[in-house]
Chains A and B, each alone.
Chain A
Amino acid sequence: MTDPTTLTAAELGGAIAAGDITAVEAAEAHYARIDAVDGAIHAFLHLDREGALAQAADIDRRVAAGERLGPLAGVPLALKDVLVQRGVPTTAGSRMLEGWRPPYDATVVTRLREAGVVILGKTNMDEFAMGSSTEHSAYGPTRNPWNTDRIPGGSGGGSAAAVSAFMAPLAIGTDTGGSIRQPAAVTGSVGVKPTYGSVSRRGLIAFSSSLDQAGPCARTVLDTALLHEAIAGHDPLDSTSIDAPVPAVVAAARHADVRGMRVGIVRELTGEGYQPDVQARFDESVELLRELGAEIVEVHCPNFVHALAAYYLIAPSEASSNLARFDGMRYGLRVGDDGTHSAEEVMALSRAAGFGAEVKRRIMIGTYALSSGYYDAYYGQAQKVRTLITRDFEAAFARVDVLISPTTPTTAFRIGERLDDPMAMYRADLATIPSNLAGNSAMSIPAGLDSDGLPVGLQIMAPALADDRLYRVGAAVETALNARWGGPLLDKLTVGGTR
């Protein structure tokens, strides 16, 4: 039997449907892989072996009974710990929710179950998805499988590391300012932030409601598309969910052809501030696209330079309100309930003890930005900038089909390197944030390695509800680069000498 952990999700799903591998074998093989390497990586916060194996056994029964299941039935997945799963501990990377077991499933989880996807466990993340390195997890950092001294990106570092270290072929991330794409870029995997409103946020513990979007992580563009299709679609229980058909992303991933497509290079997302290796891999990608028959156009998005500033007002403002409910009254951590403190004091003590420094920093920023007398200058102004950025995208997409840029200005930095410099940390999301502010779709795919052997990401951006274009371009670049490299980039990865 082939080692199930080496297969893509598409291959594994096919093998399970054909009866060549059972879902239980697939789950057990991935747990064995996790047991072997996750001590060095720390991608998972919780493993639900019992639940996953029961679910896998159910899939096997249905396959044996001749039931026709979806392409991902029996395929294991790692779930970012910011999505609630009934009865399974969900912490969002925070002490505040240690031990909390949600009484309901996120809509994404429900859809995964319906697709027969087996949820192995919950992955590590920056606390409440605030960070770009997973160092802000209350449960310790996740390490980059390419180099364990390096960060795996964030906030969804656990999901990206799980996928790139072959602990799961699929993972769910959430992307508020780049938390799917930046980890994908620095771990050599694929990640997509779907159009805002196309994947339900119900059950996604909110960081910034107007920016948060759950999305797929995988090792190949096709696998990412299969997962995208499984989780997307209208949800009447999320008022911001778009009632429109899901773009045909799987068909697009199988249509790896960019001939005649117009691809825009965003001038504001290249050059100064971008590591030379990163810029070099990007330039090579541009050349490759030209060779593949795409028309390359240079576009300007002048307001993108204000994106980071606008983001760091809007996201913390919404977070300051979204995180208010963590007050120790109804669930989660409660401190000071010893009969000597008032309810208000218990709230304050619980929040002081339960939140980490970065979360507190953002709550403070957001509280300030929303305060009477400051609202117009900060939150109000940031919303105007957001509108301008959306218009920049609209103008650009009037000329081109997709936009491209490096996903991140640098490759994975060292653990600890930016912990004392929040601004340096925030700059990791320079190129990813505009798509969140505008609500359009974006993808990161591997573009090669830097001189230290660390992955570089290529970002592809498409208009809202044109997510299929990402997959068409992504699949074309992936196919061409794999041919050039003699196989997928992640085949070059060894973790702990076990591969």
Chain B
Amino acid sequence: MTDAVLAYDEVLESYDPVLGLEVHVELGTASKMFCGCSTEFGAEPNTQVCPVCLGLPGSLPVVNAVAVESAIRIGLALNCSIAPWSRFARKNYFYPDMPKDFQTSQYDEPIAFDGWLDVEVPTDDGVRTFRVEIERAHMEEDTGKSLHVGGATGRIHGADFSLVDYNRAGIPLIEIVTKPLAGAGELAPEVARAYVTELRELLVGLGISEARMDRGQLRCDANVSLRPRWAEGEEPTPLGTRTETKNVNSFRSVERAVRFEMCRHAAVLSGGGTILQETRHFHENDGTTTSGRIKSDAEDYRYFPEPDLVPIAPDPEWIEKLRGTLPESPAERRRRLSEAWGFSDKDLQAAVNAGAVDLITATVAAGTTPDAARKWWLGELARRANETGADLDALGVSPVQVAQLQALVDAGRINDKLARQVLDGVLLGEGSPEDVVVARGLEVVSDTGALGAAVDAAIAARPDVAEKIRGGKVAAVGALVGAVMKATRGQADAATVKDLILARLTADS
């Protein structure tokens, strides 16, 4: 069953969206939050476990000091206050992938609170900046990973059986929660995307996580509610009921999920219905959400302070020392890069929102000019990412490969059209751009002897054009170049063809 949705423009005529974003980031620490087990991604299931992360009877947690350091650095980078004294708490609920049937988390005493992050969204009227206020950033442990086999939905209900991999259980997570984000209006979906993108850049810049969404290292839950618009001068209308959309695992999906929920809420509200406070699942394939668990008052996690751990009271001097280790902020970095690369604000913002800044940086570092790198990542590669629904860094082509591709173009060995075919090969796993060129025989026809015949034929076929060129109208050469390119099925270098034609026609005069 698909939900009714209202057209986006109509949504905004009647309603004002309010967002709340909860981002979980897996820290890239060598060991887990409360034990010494490895956090290496991709190991055989249940090989990176011990009595602590399996929650065996009698086991006790010990806090990973590096995780605390990372949490403080994130807090500082997000302009948060760092709590002089904070505690862990137990969040109690039963689920097979949670070894202790409670999650060790932080509740009313988070390590970092009250911060902000500015994000920039390009609009037709230039770049607009939104300040996203941060409610809190707190430490917690990840759960195991369930695989539900059988049944229709891939969820625990209706499954024939379930498998659990506890390698992920106990991996340190930082949950970053925004305050309600209002005032974005029609830009709400873009702001949501820009926030997650900016946050990822900040986290990667801090060096505390690879923060790859495709690996679940960065996960976003998007809370969306609508309230009726109010007239100028009136009190804002009260906040509407929110839904929490989970499983939003790419930047693009964040934007789509928010947009879909806005349209769905509006359809329900306009039809006189009420929004259920519930968890919703996002579906990458069609961009819709479906109902998950109903979140009601009955859901009671019975939080209480974790008695197996002592409070965290970081030394103020240590906090200041950590503040000194913060890298430049993503915004500062962008200003620096913008200058170095000579990008316009809009170009740079587009790069940020596509999650392409690091990729462009790496491509430039591999020898490509900034402009060429930008054209690849925001042009052809962005188009392909859009088609497949993947983020750029998960597309399957590395910055080094892009640089190699561009180098082939610069050397005149392939042209732009061929470059796209080479890219096809790279994405299909056929090897480096060089490998693909060789294997597919895509090199441009640069043998002037072979080209000469095609050039002579083209000149002979269009004496009128040849005459114009001889007469000094060099611009007319395009028609002849086109004919040669057609004859060689694109496998010639256009510049070489042009040179050959002009050489012949000027030699005649």
Q: A202-B58, A318-B307 are in contact. Are A342 and B157 (CB under 8 A)?
A: yes
Tell me, yes or no, whether A381 is within 8 Å of chain B by CB. Answer: no
Bound Cα distance A321, B100 (Å): 8
Contacting residue for A102 out of B58, B94, B102, B157, CB 8 A: B58
Determine whether B109 belongs to the interface, using a CB cutoff of 8 Å to chain A: no
B172 to chain A, nearest CB (A): 16
Residue pair A106, B100 in contact (C-beta under 8 Å): no
Closest residue on chain B to residue A202 by CB atoms: B60
Q: Using known A-B contacts A317-B304, A372-B302, determine if residue A347 contacts B60 with beta carbons closer than 8 Å.
A: no
Which residue in B58, B297, B303, B310 is a CB contact (below 8 Å) of A206? B58
Could you mark each residue 451-476 of chain B with 1 if its beta carbon is under 8 Å from any beta carbon of chain A, else 0? 00000000000000000000000000
30 contacts between A and B (CB under 8 A): A84-B57, A90-B57, A92-B57, A100-B57, A102-B57, A103-B56, A203-B58, A208-B307, A237-B60, A237-B62, A239-B60, A239-B63, A240-B307, A320-B302, A321-B90, A321-B304, A324-B92, A324-B102, A325-B57, A327-B94, A329-B164, A330-B55, A330-B99, A331-B57, A342-B156, A344-B94, A344-B156, A370-B302, A372-B300, A372-B302
Contact with A along B481-506 (1 / 0, CB 8 A): 00000000000000000000000000
Say whether B101 faces chain A, with CB atoms less than 8 Å apart: yes
Provide the residues of chain A in CB contact with B102, threshold 8 Å: 321, 324
> A102 to chain B: which residues have CB within 8 Å?
51, 56-58
CA distance A283 to B101 in the complex (A): 49
**Are B100 and A375 in contact, CB atoms less than 8 angstroms apart?**
no
Asked whether, in the complex, the Cβ of A106 is within 8 Å of the Cβ of B302, the reply is no
Task: Tell me if B310 and A240 are in contact (CB < 8 A).
Answer: yes
B303 surroundings in chain A (CB, below 8 A): 370
Does B309 lie at the interface of the complex (its beta carbon under 8 Å from any beta carbon of A)?
yes
Provide the residues of chain B in CB contact with A326, threshold 8 Å: 57
Q: Is B380 an interface residue (CB 8 A)?
A: no
Q: Is the interface of A mostly helix, strand, loop or mixed?
A: loop
Q: Does B354 contact A (CB under 8 A)?
A: no
Question: How far is the CB of B434 from the nearest CB of chain A, in Å?
Answer: 51
With A and B bound together, what is the CA distance between A318 and B92 in angstroms?
Answer: 11
Q: For B148, give the chain A residue with the smallest CB separation.
A: A343
Interface string of A321-344 (1 = CB under 8 A from B): 100111101110000000000111
Q: Taking CB as reference atom, which chain A residue is nearest B88?
A: A239
Q: Say yes or no: is A359 at the interface (Cβ < 8 Å to chain B).
A: no
Q: Say which residue of A90, A205, A330, A375 sits within 8 Å of B304 (CB atoms).
A: A375
Q: A: which residues have CB within 8 A of B?
A: 83-84, 90, 92, 97, 100, 102-104, 106, 201-206, 208-210, 236-240, 317-318, 320-321, 324-327, 329-331, 342-344, 347, 367, 370-372, 375, 379
**Interface residue count on the B side (C-beta < 8 Å):** 32
Whether A205 pairs with B300 at a CB distance below 8 angstroms is: no
Report the bound CA distance from A344 to B90 in whole Å. 20
Q: Is B180 an interface residue when CB atoms closer than 8 A count as contact?
A: no
Other A-B pairs beyond A103-B56, A239-B61, 6, CB < 8 Å: A84-B58, A321-B90, A343-B156, A347-B94, A372-B297, A375-B304
Q: How far is the CA of A272 from the CA of B138 in the complex (A)?
A: 50
Q: How far is the CB of B149 from chain A (nearest CB, A)?
A: 12
Distance in angstroms from A45 CB to nearest chain B CB is 15
- Whether A330 contacts B62 in the complex (CB less than 8 A), given A343-B96, A370-B304, comes out as no
Nearest A residue to B157 via CB reads A342
Shortest distance from the beta carbon of A376 to any chain B beta carbon, whole Å? 11
Whole-angstrom CA separation of A491 from B56 in the bound complex: 42
Binding site for A on B (CB under 8 A): 51, 54-63, 90, 92, 94, 96, 99-102, 156-157, 162, 164, 297, 300, 302-304, 307-310
A237 to B36, CA, bound (A): 11
Closest Cβ of chain B to A344, distance in Å, is 7
In the bound assembly, the distance between CA atoms of A370 and B89 in angstroms comes to: 12
Complex: chain A residue closest to B301, CB-CB:
A372
**B300 in contact with A379 (CB, 8 Å):** no
Chain B proximity of A17: nearest CB distance (Å)? 32
Q: A103-B51, A321-B92 are in contact. Are A97 and B57 (CB under 8 A)?
A: yes
Question: What are the residues of chain B within 8 A of A90 when measuring CB–CB?
Answer: 57
Across the interface, name the chain A residue whose C-beta is closest to B94: A347
State whether B307 touches A210 (Cβ < 8 A). yes
Q: Does the CB pair B62–A239 fall under 8 Å?
A: yes
| Residues on the A chain within 8 Å of B92, using CB | 320-321, 324, 370
CA distance A456 to B432 in the complex (A): 85
Contact in complex: A239, B58 (CB < 8 Å): no
Residues of A within 8 A of B308 (CB): 206, 209, 239-240
Contact A205 B94 (CB under 8 A): no
Chain A residue nearest to B302 (CB atoms) is A370
What chain B residues lie within 8 Å of A342 (beta carbons)?
156-157
Task: Give every chain B residue within 8 A of A202 (Cβ-Cβ).
Answer: 58-60
Identify B300's interface contact among A104, A236, A317, A371, CB under 8 A.
A371
List the A side residues contacting B157 at CB < 8 Å: 342
Tell me, rounded to whole Å, the shortest Cβ–Cβ distance linking A48 to chain B. 17
Q: Does the CB pair B94–A238 fall under 8 Å?
A: no
* A237 to B, closest residue via Cβ: B62
Q: Which residues of the partner chain A approach B307 to less than 8 Å between Cβ atoms?
A: 208-210, 240, 318
Is there contact, CB below 8 Å, between A324 and B101?
yes
Bound Cα distance A242, B501 (Å): 88
Q: Contacts A84-B58, A239-B309, A344-B94: A325 and B304 contacting too (C-beta < 8 A)?
A: no
- CB-CB < 8 A to B62: which residues of A? 236-237, 239
Closest CB-CB distance, A149 to chain B, in whole Å? 33
Tell me if A331 and B56 are in contact (CB < 8 A).
Answer: yes
Find out whether the CB atom of A201 lies under 8 angstroms from the CB atom of B302: no
Among B60, B99, B162, B310, point to the contact of A201 (Cβ < 8 A).
B60
CA distance in complex: A210, B310 (Å): 11
Q: Distance in Å from the Cβ of A331 to the closest Cβ of chain B?
A: 7
Chain B residues, CB < 8 A from A104: 51, 56
- Which of B156, B157, B307 has the most CB atoms of chain A within a 10 A radius of its CB? B307
Contact A106 B55 (CB under 8 A): no
| CB of B55 to closest CB in A, whole Å | 5
Partner of A321, one of B96, B164, B302, B309: B302
Chain A residues, Cβ within 8 Å of B297: 372
Are B162 and A327 closer than 8 Å at their CB atoms?
no
Interfacial chain A residues near B162, Cβ < 8 Å? 343
Q: Which residues of A contact B56 (CB under 8 A)?
A: 84, 102-104, 330-331
| B66 to A: closest C-beta gap in Å | 16
Roughly how many angstroms separate A370 CA and B96 CA in the complex, as a whole number? 22
Give the complex CA separation of A379 and B90 in angstroms: 14
Bound-complex Cα distance A453 to B62 (A): 48
Closest CB pairs A-B (n = 5): A324-B101, A209-B307, A370-B302, A210-B307, A203-B58
State the CA gap A475–B128 with chains docked (Å): 79
Q: Which residues of A contact B55 (CB under 8 A)?
A: 325, 330
Complex Cα distance A208/B304, Å?
A: 13
> How far apart are A381's CB and chain B's nearest CB, in angstroms?
13
- B304: chain A residues at CB < 8 Å are 317-318, 321, 370, 375, 379
Instruction: Name the A residues within 8 Å of B57 (CB-CB).
Output: 84, 90, 92, 97, 100, 102, 205-206, 325-326, 331
Chain A residues in 8 Å Cβ range of B310: 239-240
Given contact pairs A210-B307, A239-B308, A370-B304, A329 touches B96 in the complex (Cβ within 8 A): yes
Q: Which residue on B lies nearest to A238, using beta carbons?
A: B60
Closest to A83 in B: B58
Q: How far is the CA of A97 from the CA of B297 in the complex (A)?
A: 34
- Chain B residues near A324 (CB-CB < 8 A): 92, 94, 100-102
Q: Smallest CB–CB gap between B124 and chain A, Å?
A: 47
Interface centre among B59, B164, B303 (most CB of A within 10 A): B59
Closest to B299 in A: A372
